[in-house]
A and B are shown apart, each in its own frame.
Chain A
Amino acid sequence: DIQMTQSPSSVSASVGDRVTIACRASQPIGTWIAWYQQRPGKAPRLLIYVASSLQSGVPSRFSGSGSGTDFTLTITNLQPEDFATYYCQQAHSFPLSLGGGTTVE
């Protein structure tokens, strides 16, 4: 099974900042990774898929990169609505798995 490890577990930031979140897979997964945003009490929201493709309706300040085992989600010009928890998810093979989450506070 593939384990996904996110870092850091939390990050302190201010409006206008650039934030970078890392995700490492326990084995190579190509670009079979997605990133989700979850606000408190809400369902997750798909932001990025196949490592770098922006989901429809997601602002361009969100971007993703990486391949193999190391991936990054970057948020530029952080906005108030971006304070949330972010998760990576591997779609390379079953069982699917998600990272532990990174809270932007």
Chain B
Amino acid sequence: VQLLESGGGLVRPGGSLRLSCAASGFSVSNYAMTWVRQAPGKGLEWVAGFSGTGDNAYYADSVKGRFTISRDTSQNTVFLQMNSLRAEDTAVYFCAKDLDTGNFPRHFFDYWGQGTLVTVSS
């Protein structure tokens, strides 16, 4: 199992970025997937995630209405579309795989990518 994030970079406030998380060794269609971020020198913050194998997704209040999680099973990849970016969105973004398969997972995360850095600055 491997997860490889990409798409991070420097963006101006108000801009957009799309992060990708390419999975191997399992199918993203069979697991709930999630995004967690970590601001420089700070703790982990859950950002967004699927509740199961469908399209039902949840978001942290801090990103609701601005970020959208999606997945493309043909590419075996999960995405995080980030719009209206703010300085406080600056962080390393990790994607993670749920421990359980199926539509009623317990939302514990056993595999993580190495992260991609997003910097929001003018």
Contacts and interface: CB of A to CB of B under 8 A. Distances in A.
A40 to B, nearest CB: 11
Nearest to B105: A91
Residue from B96, B106, B109 with most neighbouring chain A CB atoms (10 Å):
B109
Contacts of B94: 43-44
A95 interface: yes
B24 to A, nearest CB: 16
Nearest to A46: B110
A65 B114 CA distance: 29
Contacts, number: 63
Interface of A is mostly: loop
B34 A96 contact: yes
B6 to A, nearest CB: 15
Interface of B: 34, 36, 43-46, 49, 51, 58-61, 94, 96, 99, 106-110, 112-115
A95 B34 contact: no
Contacts of A75: none
Residue from A1, A44, A45 with most neighbouring chain B CB atoms (10 Å):
A44
**Chain A, interface residues (CB within 8 Å), range:** 20 to 34
A32 B107 CA distance: 9
Nearest to B49: A96
A38 to B, nearest CB: 7
A91 B45 CA distance: 13
Contacts of A32: 106
A4 B104 CA distance: 23
A73 to B, nearest CB: 14
A97 interface: yes
B44 A46 contact: no
Interface string A78-105: 0000000101010100111111110000
Given A94-B51, A94-B58, A95-B60, A46 B109 contact: yes
Interface in A51-92: 55, 85, 87, 89, 91
B107 A95 contact: no
A34 B108 CA distance: 7
